[in-house]
Structure formats: structure tokens, C-alpha cells
Amino acid sequence: MLLVRVLILLFCLSMAPAAISLGADFSPDGGDIVIKADSMDHDQATDTFHASSNVTILWEGMVLNADQATYSRKTGIMIASGNIIMTKNDDTLRGNKFMIDVATGRAELDQGTLSVSKGNINFSGEKIIKEDENHIILEKTELTTCDLPDPSWKFKAEELKVNLLGYAIGRNVIFYIKNTPAFYIPWIAFPVVRDRKSGLLFPRFGNSNSRGVEVDLPVYWVIAPNQDLQFDLDIVSKRGVGTGVDYRYARKRGSEGNIGGYLIYDLLDNRWRGQVAQSHKEIFSPDMNLRMVVNLNTDKTFLQDFGEKSGEYNRQSNDTVVNFLKTWQHYALTADMRYSEELYNVDSSQTVQTIPEIGLAAVRQKLFTTPIYFDMDSAIANLYRDTGPQGQRLQAFPRLTLETGLPGYLQASAFAGLHLRAYNSDNIPVGTNIHNNDADLLPELGVRASTSLSRVYDIGGEHLKKLRHELVPELSYSYTPERDQTRLPFYDYSDRLVWQNMAYYSLASYLGGKFQNGETTEYRDLLRLKLLQGYSFEGTRRDLLTMVDTNRPFTDLIMESDAWLHPKARMTLDARYNVYDNQVSSIAPGVAFDDKRGTTATAAYRMSRNNLEYMEAQLSTKLVKPWTFGYSTRYSFDRPGALETVYSAGYTQKCWSINVSIIDRPGNTSFRVNFDLAGLTNY
């Protein structure tokens, strides 16, 4: 925490000099310290130098001003008193009396107050004692990051013992709001040798229907420059007392990760409940890495009861994934393992677990000097599940692509590939025609052609100088023959290649502008619009939402657009229109605004006919300073009701802030309060 910088500065201010000289021109010892004053004299009997009136002591970039100062050459003691002000850079130390033993380096400061500009930390003590280079004792101390003399909050301690190479230990610590004591801490210890801030974080408070009153007591510890740990004691009135831990680390070459967990004996369920979450990224070299994510819960409803964030409490599955990647100039080798637990199903007996899958991909590369390119995707996997076929699967899709066309007028390509699938299966249900060992070869062909038409228009406006409009028509065709694949096991949709004989045609429009603001020229996208439709000569096609369409020849007419209405505002639209039923089959408009000054707003609507319909919106603003207000909601129309609504408000002052949020979810409403003390409780 910022107190570390205070203690280090105190150590620097009280460093023992080798010798002392008096006056700007008088240096009897040829020392490093210079004392200046309106009046100076030397008592030869005691060999003591006296300075009074406008005393200034200079050493190592520091300046000490006092009413008077004495130095005894016999004892090696220097004493400064009266209106002491010590400064270095923008930091200031004030006190009534300062004493230092030049020989031993032991120093004392009475009624000391230290103000450190970085972090606005203010620190005081009736007596500050520097015992040696590494040990400092502070008696009856106060600490705050608020402005003096009337801070909004402060900590008081009877004594603080500091080891600059280890820990600071405080006793009888009281936290004050204004001049009113708020809570008492009998003993506290925190490391003082780290660059980052460590120690107790301010408690978080809340209340919810399902968990009751909540108090979270977090402790943050910087173990090393590349490691830290947060421990939480979570007191939940209806559920019990939980403990959480989150350990983070960083390694060489950008490798990093974290591992955490939470454990509670749930009083409502009368059982232990918890989770383990871990992520790791290991960078072996620029072309080789390993990534791992682990998510394990004691039970399927743990996240519903204890998850806080959207996407966590309503997670559909728990996935543990390990991925290895090694790349070369033209090839990439992958190894994956995935274990999934379905949270909304009765069990995961039919969930396919991939343990493991090894893949080899050939990146698109030119064959000799021909206009033909080769690429390939391949993988072999061991697929396991408790119920249903399981076994090994080999997949490969080598492909040749011919690039041709008329430069500047037409870009065209044609490809031909072969899907290879081979299986070794067991645990086959009785009554199916799935074979234990089987293989299949299925070709796929396709062509694509496009061109570009563009024109630049001179606008000559005050800011908009030119517009560039580009039209890109494109035609594509793909063919995969019909094949009965029911004899093959079904693990995912790559085991059922769709019979298709289809053509797609599209038209894309791009609009960009050249803007002039004084001497600054800016080129900005204004609009992207694309219309796309397909026609099926025969076969079927797979739709993203319904998986299989109704086999009518024309697909939905698809429109995609991005419109930048202003540098701070953007509108998006994805719509699909059924030309047979004359109705919109799906639509997803959205708008986003960011004024770059703390106000953001987003709104989006999603509708897929006969499947889902919901809206989500978010607003956050800092217009009413020092307040920050936030609102977000997700509302379902197909199952009427709010999925989640969050109201938040934050009030920020120079030395503290408070954030309040109300989270309303079906069946549960929670209320949370977070406090932050600047420089101490945040990290």
C-alpha cells in the first residue's frame, strides 16, 4: 500500500551523513551536510555548533528548515527544533523536534506529519523512531489519504513496528469516519517490501433473498513481484461461512495463470459445496504454447446459488479444456482435451467428452509455380460418453484451390476437396445399423467469383470533403453429393455432412468518408451493407437456429449492416426475411454510444421466430460528478419477464468511494455495497 512509500521516505530522510559543515563557505569536516542560518556560533568547551533563525540544512536533495539546530562534534548528535519542515521533491515532513545520531544513524522525530504527493497520503505520529537502517517504530500514529486537517476517514494505531525488509505490524488499530470510531482491529500485519499495494481490502456488504445478509472480508497479499493472492472470508447469514482464494502468477515469456476456489458448508442443504476454477497460459516459444481452463463444481446448482455475474450464474455447462498448439511456416499441430458437465440436464451420460483430439492443419500454400493452392484440416479424436456409441474418429479434409480471374476486374476461385471419416466404435446400442468399424469418403466442390466497382465523390463540405462508394457483387456455388450416413456414429454435426447443391449470390456496399478538421485528415467508415440469398437446386441445408430448413429452394434473404452515424455512435442490424411466408424470420438490431467521457449506452433486440425473443440494454454515465450511475437489463418476450436487471450508483471523492448495486433476478433480489479507500483498499 501507499504506506510503504511513506516508510521508505522516512528511512531516506533519516539516513546518517558522514560529516557536517556549517555555513555556505565553512566546512570544517568537509562533510556532505551544509547548515545555513542567520546566526551561528561554536562553543569550544563542548565542541558544539549552534545555528538559529532561518536555519536551513541541505543534504542529498533534501531540505530541512527549522528555528534552530545544534550539532555536537563530541557526541555526534544533531538536533533541530521549532517549526521543522523537511522536503524532497513534492513530499513534505513536518515536526517539532528532530534528532539524529550521526555515528549510528538512530533518529527520532516528535509530533511528525508526513504528506506524500503521490497518492495524497498523510501520515502522523507522536514519535517516529528510526532504530537502524531497516527498523522504524511509530507511536500513536494516524494514516489517511484525505486532505488535512479534517479527513473524511483515518486509521489510528497505538504502535506500528516496521521492518523495511519484511513486515509492518500494528496493534490496537481503530478506523475512524470523521472523528467517530467505526471498528477496531486488535492486530494487523502486512508486507512492506513490494511495489504493489498489499493488505486488508475493505469489507463488502450485501443482502439477498436466497443468501440473506452477506459480509465479505478480503485480504490481498503480494507474495512476489510476479505472484499475488486474495483470500476472502464470506459470511452469509442463510448459508453459513464460506472461504475463497484466488492465486495469480506470471512467468517468463508472457506465461501466466490463476487458480481459485470457494468452499462453504451450506446450512440450507446441510452439505459441503464449492468450486475450483483455474486458467493457465504457458508460452514455450513464439510458435508453441499451452492453454488450460478448469471449471469444476461440487453440484449442478452451485453457480445458480452462488454465482454473481451474468454468464456465470446461468452457465449452461462446466467445461474443462486443455489446448496445445505448435506452428511451423506451413503447418500447425494441435492437441485438445475437453470435459463438459451439463448443468441443466439430469445427467451428462450422453455428453461427448473429447479425451483427447490431435489435429494437423496445412496452411494454404502454393504448389510450385502453379496458381493452385493446397490446404488441409485433419484430426483424430478419442470420444467417450457413458451412454451411446463411443470410440475413435479420424477426420481429414484435404483441398485444392485454383485462383484465377482478370486482375482489376474479376477475382475467381474454384476448389475441390475430399471429406475422409473413419471410426472405431463400441458400446453400440442394440437395434441400430451403426458398424463397429467403418469409413466414408465424401467429395465437396465449389466456385466463387466477385468484382469491385467504386467511385469517389467530391463533397466539399466544411468537414466532409469526399465520399467513396464501393459495390462488391459476389456469386458462389457448392456441391456435396447425397449419402446415407446413418451407419456412422453421431458425436457432433461433422458426422452428418449435408447433401447440398446450392448457389449463393450477394451484393455488398461500402461507404467511407474523408474528413478534414483543421490540419487533421481522417478517413472513416460510414456504412457497410450486405444482401445475401441462396438457391438450392437439390438437397438440404443446415440453418444455424433450426439446424434443418423446410427444403424450399430459396433461402431467407439476409441483410447485414453496420452504420457509423457519428464517431461516437454505431448501429448494427442482422435480419432474415422468409420470401415464402412474407415475414421476418429473425432480426437483431443494435445501437452503441460512447462519448469518450464516461457515458456509454447500448441497446440490442433479438428475435428468432418460434425460438426466442429478448432485449438487453445498458447505460452508464458520469455526467453528474462525482456520481456514476448505471443500469442494465435483459428482458424476455417469449417467456415474459425480466431475466436480470441491475441498478448501480457510485459516489467518488478524492480519498474514498462507495458503490451500491441492486441485482434483480427471477426468484432472487440482492443488494451490495462496496467501499474503497484511495490508496489502501484498491489494488
In this predicted model, what pLDDT tens digit does every residue of 657-666 receive, in sequence order? 889 999 998 8
Segment 561-608, tens digit of pLDDT: 999 988 899 999 999 999 988 999 999 999 999 998 999 999 999 998
In the structure, what pLDDT confidence band is assigned to residue 59 with cuts at 50, 70 and 90?
low
pLDDT at 119 (0 to 100):
53
**pLDDT average, residue stretch 199-226:** 84
Q: Is the pLDDT of residue 47 over 80?
A: yes
Q: Is the pLDDT of residue 649 over 90?
A: yes
Q: Is the pLDDT of residue 464 over 50?
A: yes
> Which of 82-91, 116-125, 281-290 reaches the highest mean pLDDT?
281-290
User: Do 655 and 174 touch, CB atoms closer than 8 A?
Assistant: no
In the structure, what pLDDT confidence band is assigned to residue 131 with cuts at 50, 70 and 90?
confident
Measured CA to CA, the distance from residue 570 to residue 436 in angstroms comes to 54
Measured CA to CA, the distance from residue 195 to residue 403 in angstroms comes to 57
> Which of 104-113, 131-140, 198-207, 513-522 reaches the highest mean pLDDT?
513-522
pLDDT at 225 (0 to 100):
81
CA 180 to chain centre: 37
Domains of the chain: 3-188 (2.60.450.10), 194-315 (no CATH), 340-444 (no CATH), 452-594 (no CATH), 596-683 (no CATH)
Query: DSSP string of 365-431?
Result: EE-TTSSEEEEEEEEEEEEE-SSS-EEEEEEEEEEEEEEEEETTTEEEEEEEEEEEEEEEEESPPTT
Q: What are phi and psi for residue 416, nearest 5 degrees?
A: -140, 130
User: Could you tell me which residue, 184 or 269, shows the higher pLDDT?
Assistant: 269
Lowest mean pLDDT among 161-175, 218-232, 529-543: 161-175
Q: Residue written as cell 475441390? A: 416
Q: Is the pLDDT of residue 372 over 90?
A: yes
DSSP single-letter state for residue 171: E
CA distances from 667 to 87, 309, 527, 615 (A): 59, 16, 43, 20
**pLDDT average, residue stretch 455-465:** 91
User: Do 124 and 141 touch, CB atoms closer than 8 A?
Assistant: yes
SS3 13: helix
Side-chain-side CA neighbours of 358 within 13 Å: the count stands at 1
Per DSSP, what are the bridge partners of residue 477?
447, 503
pLDDT at 19 (0 to 100):
38
pLDDT at 513 (0 to 100):
94
User: Could you tell me which residue, 183 or 508, shows the higher pLDDT?
Assistant: 508
CA 249 to chain centre: 15
- Computed over every residue of the chain, the mean pLDDT equals 85
- pLDDT more than 90, % of the chain: 46
User: Could you tell me which residue, 318 or 559, shows the higher pLDDT?
Assistant: 559
pLDDT at 166 (0 to 100):
60
Q: Is the pLDDT of residue 5 over 50?
A: no
Segment 389-428, tens digit of pLDDT: 999 999 999 999 999 988 878 999 999 999 999 999 998 8
Torsional sign, CA 536, 539, 544, 545: positive
Cβ burial 598-628 (10 Å sphere, 16+ → b, else e): ebbbbebbbbbbeeebbebbbebbbeeeeeb
Q: Is the pLDDT of residue 536 over 80?
A: yes
Question: Do the strands 135-144 and 153-163 form a parallel or antiparallel pair, or are they unpaired?
Answer: antiparallel
